[in-house]
Amino acid sequence: MKYHDAMFIDGSWRPAAGRETIDVLNPADEQIIGRVPAGSEQDVDDAVRAARAALPGWAATPPAERAARLTALRDQLAARKEEIARTITAELGAPLGFSTAVQAGAPIVVAGSYAELAASYSFEEKIGNSTVLLEPVGVVGAITPWNYPLHQIVAKVAPALAAGCTVVLKPAEDTPLTAQLFAECVAAAEVPAGVFNLVTGLGPVAGQALAAHEGVDLVSFTGSTAVGKRIGALAGAAVKPVALELGGKSANVILPGADLAEAVGAGVANVMANTGQTCSAWTRMLVHADQYEEAVALAAEAVDRYTPGDPTDAESRMGPLVSAKQRDRVRGYIERGISEGARLVAGGPDAPEGREKGYYVRPTVFADVTPDMTIAQEEIFGPVISVLRYRDEEEAVRIANGTVYGLAGAVWAADRDEAVAFARKLETGQVDINGGRFNLLAPFGGYKQSGVGRELGAHGLGEYLQTKSLQF
């Protein structure tokens, strides 16, 4: 596996300030596939200084030229799609088909969408005797997670560049090789030196240094709510804006009259994708009492089709979790569900048969889950579904809204208007109606402790702009 023993700062690969490194492991076989620098405060400072120096020139670059660079970046990502997919499969463990179609495919669309927005967006407007200017917020510190490593990078870097901002990226330590490939694509797209910079490193060191750096004007973070709170506190102390895309515990609400088999099947597929490592996954399935046992049986049957396997095998629908830490976390939640009295109807805490090597877990379904159980309240981030019973619509709304999260969800009903009426009562940033498809141009983000701000589309661009009014 190709990788750089260096940082990408001010348009070139340069040695890190220190000698500390991070081993990159293949979660399917636990073998080391790469080694990258563990960045220090000095590396972060060097990158921020480069971004700061490049900011005036990039901010003054006409939007049409910024659009041209983003178009070139999209084309680079498209040309290297297969290589990117193989890299993501190697360091994340996502099945190769999923890595190709989603992990590598979606960011190409997102990059293209921001190329178009940069060219068409109105960066000023007239309001009475005022001209209102929308200007770049400045240097962006972007801290991204490992579960969708390229998508999360592009969802921050592309709108920031479209807005005229410069960026320092600190990617997740589990998936830095994908970030290095992205940096190569940025260079090949002839984005000016210093506009994009990459520092690999550990969250508590490089991530914290970036979030706290006085030369950073906005921090954009995707990850756990616990870490998001700390970053928000750091930024708040400096009166610095943040964009936070955090955790979720989304409800898949199946109303009486909906196609039960379709709703359950789609719900299981949603959670099993990416081995359950999706912040917006519908991990709580809410079913009316009259259909509850039928739904539980359907869910158990559907999960049986997801056998953990070698992610490079074209037949595999599910790979390992990203790390030993994540595997142990998910198994711990499964054990907690059993100890709190939930009924295990599929899966369990033991390693899947024949998969003792690698960070594998069994796809798991719990029944008789009550809203106060840990597995119904906390984000597990693995292939674990909790099926909850409700007796009327009022109780379903109460259960669906009864967590600290509000990122996503789904509603299924025989009548579309009925589903929409229910969806309006949900405290969440997105709701899929009867299997509605994910829209890469629609705003993505959450209510409550699921975050601050939105990503994707014009709403995502707006996060990287600040407002100035000129009066005449």
Alpha carbon distance 97, 103 (integer Å): 9
Between CA 219 and CA 49 the distance in angstroms is 16
Catalytic residue among 165, 279, 455, 463: 279
Q: Phi and psi of 120, rounded to 5°? A: -110, -15
What's the half-sphere exposure (Cβ side, CA atoms, 13 Å) at 298? 19
Q: Give the tokens for residue 282.
A: 């519908």
Could you confirm whether 262 is annotated as catalytic?
no
- Residue pointed to by tokens 């040695």: 15
Structure tokens at 459: 């709403």
Amino acid at 262: E
The DSSP-derived string for 8-47 is: EETTEEE--SS--EEEEEETTTTEEEEEEE---HHHHHHH
Cα–Cα distance for residue pair 282/276, rounded to 1 Å: 9
**Within 10 Å of residue 425's Cβ, how many Cβ atoms?**
16
The one catalytic residue in 184, 245, 379, 455 is 245
Phi, psi angles (nearest 5°) of residue 410:
-145, 150
Is residue 111 classed as helix, strand or coil in its secondary structure?
helix
- Residue 384's DSSP bridge partners are 364
Q: How far apart are CA 70 and CA 190, in angstroms?
A: 10
Look at residues 225, 263, 197 and name the one whose alpha carbon lies nearest to residue 47: 197
Q: How far apart are CA 405 and CA 72, in angstroms?
A: 37
Please name the residues in contact with 49: beta carbons below 8 A apart, sequence gap of 6 or more.
215
CA distances from 201 to 16, 243, 401 (A): 10, 21, 36
Q: Are 84 and 77 in contact (CB under 8 A)?
A: yes
Separation of alpha carbons 184 and 110, rounded Å: 18
Q: Is 185 among the catalytic positions?
A: no
- Contact indicator for 405, 277 with CB cutoff of 8 Å: no
CB 12 within 8 A of CB 4: no
As a whole number of angstroms, the longest Cα–Cα distance in the chain is 74
Smallest Cα–Cα separation from 61: which of 210, 180, 218, 166? 166
- Hey, what amino acid is at 417? D
DSSP 388: E
Structure tokens at 95: 């099945």
Catalytic residues: 245, 279
